[in-house]
Amino acid sequence: MASAKKQHLQRRHCRQGGFTLVEMLLVLVILATLAAIVVPKFAGRSEQARITAAQTQIANLEIVLDSFEVDNGTYPKGSNGLRDLVEQPSYAKNWRGPYIEEIPLDPWGNAYLYEYPGKRNSQGFDLVSMGPDGRSGGGDDITNYKQTEK
């Protein structure tokens, strides 16, 4: 009798040991289906987050550039451009900087393009992130001016 009971417990223990191949495949199918539904909804979010970050950085740089202009009567000029916000240029006698700790790169790792006087903002400056493609132009640039379709 003890032997029969021992065999019954061993058989029961073996059946509880793990998942069958069919169960594992079913779980994989369910996970793949969920991924197919969910992933496309979030795929564009990281790129949109980078675009928003670039817009925010440009807005922050505009504020810093305006502070520089209030103190010095002009926006940073010459080849140094934004570097004048960190290191005092020779022409800025009322410089009260550094106006910013360091010049940020855009979310794609590229330098912002700064031009004073601006070609688009004739009374101010142009500030541009080249956007996802890393090239100036192409319709994906993020700017401090309104872009027109060409």
Residue 87 is assigned to a structural domain of this protein:
yes
Q: pLDDT value at position 1?
A: 58
Q: pLDDT value at position 60?
A: 92
User: Scanning the structure block, which residue is given the tokens 């004739």?
Assistant: 122
Residue 67 is assigned to a structural domain of this protein:
yes
Tokens for 126, please give them. Answer: 């142009």
Residue 38 is assigned to a structural domain of this protein:
no
- For 127, other C-beta atoms within 10 Å of its C-beta total 25
Residue 3 is assigned to a structural domain of this protein:
no
State the DSSP string of 97-150: --SSSSPPBPTTS-BPEEESS-SS-TTS-EEEE-TTTTSS-TT--EESS-----
Residue 52 is assigned to a structural domain of this protein:
yes
Residue 26 is assigned to a structural domain of this protein:
no
8 Å CB contact between 104 and 57? yes
Q: By residue range, what is the domain housing residue 122?
A: 46-143
pTM of the shown model: 0.69
Burial class (CB in 10 A: 0-12, 13-18, 19+), 22: exposed
Residue 91 is assigned to a structural domain of this protein:
yes
| Domains identified in the chain, total number | 1
pLDDT tens, per residue, the chain with 150 residues: 566 656 655 555 555 567 787 777 778 878 877 777 777 666 667 888 889 999 999 999 999 999 999 999 999 987 788 999 999 999 999 999 899 999 999 999 999 999 998 888 878 899 999 998 888 887 889 999 877 654
Residue 39 is assigned to a structural domain of this protein:
no
Q: pLDDT value at position 150?
A: 47
CATH number of the domain within which 87 lies: 3.30.700.10
Number of H helices, E strands in the chain: 3, 3
pLDDT in tens, 7-34: 655 555 555 567 787 777 778 878 877 7
